[in-house]
Chain A
Amino acid sequence: MKHLHAVEDVMTISRACIASLTLCCSLGACSGGGSSSNQAPDAGASGRGTVNGMVTDIGTGARVPNASVSGGGQSAISDSRGEFTLSGLAAGTVTISVTATGYAPGYATARAGDQAAPVIVSLKQQGTPQTYDATTAATLSERTEAGPYALILQPSSLDTTDTHLRVSITPLDPTKEKKALPGNLVTGGSSPSLLLPVTFAEFTILDSAGKRVQLKASASALVELPIPPSLRASYPLGTKIHCYAYDSTTAAWEDFVEGTVQISSVDGTSPVLSASVRHFSWYGGAPQGQDCADVYVNVVSAVDGKPLGNARVEATPGTTAYTDADGSAHVIAALGSPGSSYTAYQTGFDVDGSLTGIKGAKYIEFGVVDEDLVGLVKRSCTGTAAPLAPATHTAAVIGTQGNPLVIKVGVLKDVIYEAIATLAAGSGGSSGSAVVILTAGPPGPDGKLANPQPASGAKITLTDSSGQSIPLAETGAGSGFYATTSAFTITPGKSYTLSIDADGNGSIDGSGTIVGVGDLAWINPTNGANVAADTFQASWSDTGTAAANPAYAPVYIATVQGSSDLAFYLGTDRQFPVLSALSNAPLTAGTYTATLLAFSGVYAQVGGGVRIARNITGAGVTGTLLSLGGAPEPITFAVH
């Protein structure tokens, strides 16, 4: 029941238990993912004061065409492949702003100099617009699996009298979408300090004419940003967290104030970071990191292993650097943050067509490594950006000068890959399993996957938090269906990262991380029980808690259904007071059936249901990685 070996199983559970949770999969004839003949693009970096970039959708992985890009006094529109070039730039740091219809504004910085600078700007799809009358008090919110994001406005606090405003709250969970955060979360000066993102959102208020609206000079507003489940143990109620607003004029996070973790005023249960704001923009909480490490990286071509110079390397969370001619770079990475990753990419022009098949075509080489590096000597997150004196490490420690972290990069193709992946933890003597359905196709006019076909030839790897990994094999030629084929214990409560080299060229194109969900069992009620309605508290156990992983926070869906009444719970607690969904009062007496389901993944709450969001991200790869818990058999009980 729990160990899913086929997509049809997933869809069955989806239909049976999560009416509004939709998993879509289209399978057709196989065209194969293919691999490219790739070589180090040493001729690609060209032009003084030029930035070559790409705009992507952090949620879908799609390239975003028709985005307006500006920076350094220059502007451009992203082409059908989401790519753009800003040229004629003065040497130095360029602040890049990107706007696109339906997306929150995105920002990035790039280093313009003798060689063309690469940059990838990830945009987040804007939250659902809500109407607001500026003369009224209102709490506007956007709900996700982490809890409600809220903006609390006092009457007449905005610098407008417009009564038909549109407010968009765009949530961003840094544990899953860090790359869409604008700029660098680093304090500057001679003693820079790394900041650890906790919870963020973008707030946009537009008037009837589409113009951005801000607060009056004398007014402020309150925001509430949920603490992601995996970080709640680190930031309990009452914790003070430093908050920042992104200032596009300084290209930095400014307006430092303290916020406080408290209970959401919207749902009364979720822990949220509450703080005051004076400007509507990207806003969130990011305390200073405590433990960091110097990480040495070597960027090489996935095809021939040649080092790649002038590649941009981004540690997340951490600093950004560019490789030297030997492909080497040094970054500072914050330790202990869920989902650490190291991304490398470079852009250029394919002078002879050997990389892309098109002479003069622009190309992007990309690779990512998702790994919590173990064994590195800790350093303070505050202090000089230069590496400290070399620390003595054993040869096995990855990320040191003697044993740098290798990031393989390969040319991104004009193909979008989409993965639907499920992870089933082991139980009762079973080791567990992982399955992936990978499809590919060309981008449609909107940049998203069109006409998907099974994608063969991919290299897909599942890695646990201790670094143990197993490849997933394609179960039939041309099937695009990949699965674990040998014993690899998937432990409930442990974190697993799925890395996808979609075209099989040796570089990781996208990845996602999930926690394996355990087996569930009802504690109260039990099958056949007779419970009192006015004190009815439902509760259950979950074998995933045994791993004591702070990141373990699956979403539970419990339903209690009778002939004339029902109750429903969706959240991360393992208990809830059972009240009627019809009257919000204790259940009416009668016989009820209870079902229970748990999953680990990303969702947005839409209307009365939830919509699964994509959590496999990268360049040209998107998808959904889910872990479903072992659901108990439905139980029947009485309420008096």
Chain B
Amino acid sequence: MAGAVRHLLAFGLGAACAASVPPDRIFVSHAGSASISVLDSSSLSVRERIEVGLLPHNLVVSPDHRTLYAALVGSQAVAEIDVASARLRRTFLTAPVPAMRADGSVIQAHRDQNAFAHATCYDCHRDGGASPKYAGDRPFGLLLSPDGRSLLVSHLRSSDVAMVDLETAAIERVVHLEPAGAASEPVALARQGNEIWVALRPPQPSTQPGALRRLDEATLAPLGDVPTGSDPGALLALPEHGRVLVSNFESNTVTEHDARGAAIPHEAAPGPLGLLALPEQRVLVLDYYSNAVTFLDFRAASSSTVALGHDGVPFANPTHAALSSDARSAWVVTSGTEGHLLQIDLSSAAIVRDVSIDGLSFDVAVVPGAFR
């Protein structure tokens, strides 16, 4: 695809320039402040702020739109949020609380305080609490089963993928992923047909190659590896192409991969991270290091990069985006130290609204329907 860069010329504030806004609830994970905020798409006001645990990152919404799950990277847990009430329903561990350290020594505090009965490390490991503040195996990638009854969770530190039964919150199965060369951190998950794809990256920083590990969906047994760049950021299944799209965070490209190892690169801007499927075979790429987004158009075989800014000041470090329920807008999180949530009109590629959010925010999820 030929790449083109343009700057946003149109920047309108308020409803005058905005497309009509469906009544959506917007959930944003704030990695820097242990919380998730819930905004009303009409007013862009924060209606609720939910304290969930340390380093909330990836978000997924259940197929029935009733439940939101957030990976708590610093608390070895997932937060389960009731969408209707915007309340934390429960938290569950994604890996058992360890009794011993890696060197074999007993963690006496876990024994003394019966840490094994807790449902999140955040109960003890937090500001002013037990050290280290960030505890556990760093759950990061999330993937719901199509029926919404189980959740796959990948762990950066242990290289494990856990399957959690969402009715009981029990860890049903754990699969340890053997490293592919230096690539040992499972950073993202995607479902492609009857396969689960896992992006494995080497611990950063690194110039060693990463890999895409294909797993059998039913057994989670490995089916093979596909080579990729040194820092794969996110995965997006492209069912109509029979491929998986990976963002190559270390470069300025995203690449389509198939199971046979074919790779089709597409130009984005430096630091592509989040990937959002758009209508009409388009994909929105969040270009973290470039303060930009790139529109990939598979039908037109083109890409177009748009800088995010206002009055010459960039909206720094876009990470992830979510589609509005009418599929006419994308809600984009920019995760700089002054964070923003941007509404981008997909027909004009213009920012039509923005609101300040916490710095170091990460992901966004949209659930149709207004607050009651």
Nearest A-chain residue to B157, judged by Cβ: A240
Whether A192 contacts B312 in the complex (CB less than 8 A), given A254-B317, A278-B289, A382-B127, comes out as no
Which residue of the partner chain, among A222, A255, A381, A382, contacts B205 with CB atoms under 8 Å?
A222
Docked Cα-Cα span, A393 to B352, in Å, equals 50
Beta-carbon contacts under 8 Å, B312-332 to A: 312-314, 316-317
B85 to A: closest C-beta gap in Å? 22
Beta-carbon contacts under 8 Å, A200-222 to B: 217-220, 222
Not counting A189-B361, A191-B32, A219-B251, a sample of 12 additional A-B residue pairs whose C-beta atoms are within 8 angstroms of each other reads A187-B358, A188-B358, A190-B357, A191-B30, A193-B360, A222-B207, A247-B314, A249-B312, A252-B316, A256-B337, A276-B204, A291-B127
Query: Residues of A contacting B35 with CB < 8 Å?
Result: 191
Query: Residues of B contacting A300 with CB < 8 Å?
Result: none
Interface string of B118-133 (1 = CB under 8 A from A): 0000000001100001
Query: Residues of B contacting A85 with CB < 8 Å?
Result: none
- Report yes or no: B335 in contact with A256, Cβ–Cβ below 8 A: yes
> Which among B204, B269, B314 has the greatest number of chain A C-beta atoms within 10 A?
B204
Classify the secondary structure of B's interface with A. loop
A265 to B: closest C-beta gap in Å? 11
- Report yes or no: B356 in contact with A218, Cβ–Cβ below 8 A: no
A288 at interface by CB-CB < 8 Å: yes
A257 at interface by CB-CB < 8 Å: yes
- Report yes or no: B338 in contact with A189, Cβ–Cβ below 8 A: yes
A30 to B: closest C-beta gap in Å? 50
- Report yes or no: B205 in contact with A279, Cβ–Cβ below 8 A: no
Docked Cα-Cα span, A162 to B195, in Å, equals 48
Nearest B-chain residue to A382, judged by Cβ: B33
- Report yes or no: A188 in contact with B127, Cβ–Cβ below 8 A: no
15 interchain pairs, CB-CB under 8 A: A187-B337, A187-B360, A189-B339, A190-B357, A190-B358, A191-B35, A193-B359, A217-B270, A247-B336, A252-B338, A256-B336, A290-B128, A291-B128, A382-B34, A383-B33
B166 at interface by CB-CB < 8 Å: no
Which residue of the partner chain, among B46, B270, B316, contacts A218 with CB atoms under 8 Å?
B270
Docked Cα-Cα span, A367 to B324, in Å, equals 54
Nearest B-chain residue to A289, judged by Cβ: B127
- Report yes or no: B32 in contact with A276, Cβ–Cβ below 8 A: no
- Report yes or no: B337 in contact with A253, Cβ–Cβ below 8 A: yes
- Report yes or no: A189 in contact with B357, Cβ–Cβ below 8 A: yes
B278 to A: closest C-beta gap in Å? 23
Query: Residues of B contacting A250 with CB < 8 Å?
Result: 313-314, 316, 336-338
Query: Residues of A contacting B46 with CB < 8 Å?
Result: 190
Whether A278 contacts B271 in the complex (CB less than 8 A), given A191-B33, A220-B250, comes out as yes
B253 at interface by CB-CB < 8 Å: yes
- Report yes or no: B127 in contact with A290, Cβ–Cβ below 8 A: yes
Docked Cα-Cα span, A620 to B229, in Å, equals 52
- Report yes or no: B203 in contact with A260, Cβ–Cβ below 8 A: yes
Docked Cα-Cα span, A206 to B42, in Å, equals 48
Whether A187 contacts B32 in the complex (CB less than 8 A), given A222-B205, A250-B313, A254-B337, comes out as yes
A251 to B: closest C-beta gap in Å? 9
Query: Residues of A contacting B359 with CB < 8 Å?
Result: 187-189, 192-193
B182 to A: closest C-beta gap in Å? 13
- Report yes or no: B312 in contact with A256, Cβ–Cβ below 8 A: no
Nearest A-chain residue to B31, judged by Cβ: A256
A378 at interface by CB-CB < 8 Å: yes
B302 at interface by CB-CB < 8 Å: no
- Report yes or no: A254 in contact with B316, Cβ–Cβ below 8 A: yes
- Report yes or no: A275 in contact with B127, Cβ–Cβ below 8 A: no
Residue total for A at the interface (Cβ-Cβ under 8 A): 40
Whether A380 contacts B250 in the complex (CB less than 8 A), given A189-B339, A260-B204, comes out as no
Which residue of the partner chain, among A217, A255, A288, A382, contacts B317 with CB atoms under 8 Å?
A255
Query: Residues of B contacting A255 with CB < 8 Å?
Result: 288-289, 316-317
Docked Cα-Cα span, A254 to B316, in Å, equals 7
Query: Residues of A contacting B231 with CB < 8 Å?
Result: 276
Q: Which residues of A contact B (CB under 8 A)?
A: 154, 186-193, 217-220, 222, 244, 247, 249-250, 252-260, 274-276, 278-279, 288, 290-291, 378, 380-383
Which residue of the partner chain, among A193, A249, A256, A381, contacts B314 with CB atoms under 8 Å?
A249
B157 to A: closest C-beta gap in Å? 10
Docked Cα-Cα span, A270 to B220, in Å, equals 42
> Which among A258, A278, A378, A380 has the greatest number of chain B C-beta atoms within 10 A?
A278
B158 at interface by CB-CB < 8 Å: no
A250 to B: closest C-beta gap in Å? 5
Query: Residues of A contacting B252 with CB < 8 Å?
Result: 217-218
- Report yes or no: B204 in contact with A257, Cβ–Cβ below 8 A: yes
Query: Residues of A contacting B34 with CB < 8 Å?
Result: 382
Query: Residues of A contacting B358 with CB < 8 Å?
Result: 187-191
Beta-carbon contacts under 8 Å, B235-267 to A: 250-253
Beta-carbon contacts under 8 Å, B190-235 to A: 203-205, 207, 231
Docked Cα-Cα span, A222 to B231, in Å, equals 13
Query: Residues of A contacting B250 with CB < 8 Å?
Result: 220, 276
Interface string of B278-301 (1 = CB under 8 A from A): 000000000011100000000000
Docked Cα-Cα span, A219 to B270, in Å, equals 8
Query: Residues of A contacting B339 with CB < 8 Å?
Result: 188-189
> Which among B314, B357, B358, B359 has the greatest number of chain A C-beta atoms within 10 A?
B359
Query: Residues of A contacting B360 with CB < 8 Å?
Result: 187, 193, 256
- Report yes or no: B337 in contact with A186, Cβ–Cβ below 8 A: yes
Query: Residues of A contacting B289 with CB < 8 Å?
Result: 255, 278-279
The 8 tightest CB contacts between A and B, nearest first, are: A187-B359, A189-B358, A191-B33, A276-B205, A188-B338, A380-B127, A217-B252, A254-B316
A374 to B: closest C-beta gap in Å? 17
> Which among B288, B317, B336, B356 has the greatest number of chain A C-beta atoms within 10 A?
B336
> Which among A187, A218, A259 has the greatest number of chain B C-beta atoms within 10 A?
A187
B221 to A: closest C-beta gap in Å? 31
Nearest A-chain residue to B317, judged by Cβ: A254
Nearest B-chain residue to A383, judged by Cβ: B33
Docked Cα-Cα span, A256 to B317, in Å, equals 8
Docked Cα-Cα span, A279 to B251, in Å, equals 13
Docked Cα-Cα span, A190 to B359, in Å, equals 8
Whether A278 contacts B204 in the complex (CB less than 8 A), given A247-B316, A249-B313, A290-B127, comes out as no
- Report yes or no: B204 in contact with A380, Cβ–Cβ below 8 A: no
Docked Cα-Cα span, A257 to B231, in Å, equals 12
Query: Residues of B contacting A257 with CB < 8 Å?
Result: 204
Which residue of the partner chain, among B269, B288, B336, contacts A217 with CB atoms under 8 Å?
B269
